[in-house]
Amino acid sequence: MLIKPEQLEKEIKQNNPETIFLLFGEETYLLENSLKRIKKNFGETISGINFVTLYENNVENLVQEIETPAFGYEKKLIIIRDSKIFQRGGKGAEPLQEVKEIITMEKKFTSENFEAEVLKSEKPVLVDFYADWCGPCKMMAPAVEALANEQDEVTVGKLNVDFAPELARAYKVMSIPTLILFKNGEAVEKRIGVQSKAELEALIK
């Protein structure tokens, strides 16, 4: 969706903090001001931000930075400046496949957005309760991400139990990974342990 600078702040507040913004134009002041608004609003909605600025044209390096944990912070905001990484062949800003896969991966749920994104969702929502240190969670991650990329009728996302212990307790998550399917604000299905992509597909049917 194309938005103007004056619409940016409203859009940030309405979106999950995982949103990706592509800022472009010839007015340097407007670009810098828009970036300032993004950083300010992220700081207001998330406790603990690791800001990383890259001047990067290498997709592999960008992917590595995205996949690197925030190390002591709740979230990481990656700012890419003056990069041609979103262009191919000089024909507009077409995302490269490697970046596109990251952009379209599953949602990230938090204590702050859980009610709006999960309980009040008009679509069924599959939530993967996980933690960054969890080996089995990492084993299952590719299957969850693949499912998220393929699904239109079901929202697929992850919730880090270390940052939302109250939600883990509320839904009796005793071990991870645990997957819970929500429909109309209610938990209707639950699976514990590593699931294959086929098992995940069966769960949401």
Whether 162 is a known active-site residue: answer: no
Q: What is the DSSP letter of 7?
A: G
- pLDDT number for residue 91: 44
User: Catalytic: which of 8, 38, 134, 176?
Assistant: 134
Angle, helices 197-204 vs 135-150, to 10°: value is: 60
List, for residues 157-171, the tens digit of each pLDDT value: 999 999 999 999 999
Peptide bond into 95 cis (omega under 30): no
H or E stretch covering 141: helix 135-150
CATH architecture observed for domain 107-204: 3-Layer(aba) Sandwich (3.40)
pLDDT beyond 50 at 93:
no
Strands 125-130 and 155-160, by their bridges, are parallel
Alpha-carbon distance of 105 to 81, in angstroms, equals 22
User: Catalytic: which of 12, 62, 80, 137?
Assistant: 137
- pLDDT number for residue 161: 95
List, for residues 104-132, the tens digit of each pLDDT value: 456 889 999 999 999 999 999 999 999 99
List, for residues 147-202, the tens digit of each pLDDT value: 887 877 899 999 999 999 999 999 999 999 999 999 999 999 999 999 999 999 99
Whether 134 is a known active-site residue: answer: yes
Q: Find all residues with CB under 8 Å of 172, minimum gap 6, and list them.
A: none
Instruction: Spell out the domain ranges in the chain.
Output: 5-103, 107-204
List, for residues 14-54, the tens digit of each pLDDT value: 555 556 677 777 778 887 887 777 777 666 544 455 666 66
Q: Bigger pLDDT: 17 or 58? A: 58
Computed on alpha carbons and rounded to an integer, the radius of gyration of the chain in Å comes to 18
User: Which residue type, as a one-letter code, is found at position 39?
Assistant: K
- pLDDT number for residue 102: 47
What does pLDDT average to over the chain?
77
Of the candidates 102, 70, 75, the one whose C-alpha atom is nearest the C-alpha of residue 86 is 102
Q: Find all residues with CB under 8 Å of 48, minimum gap 6, and list them.
A: 70, 72, 73, 74, 75
Q: What is the pTM of this model?
A: 0.54
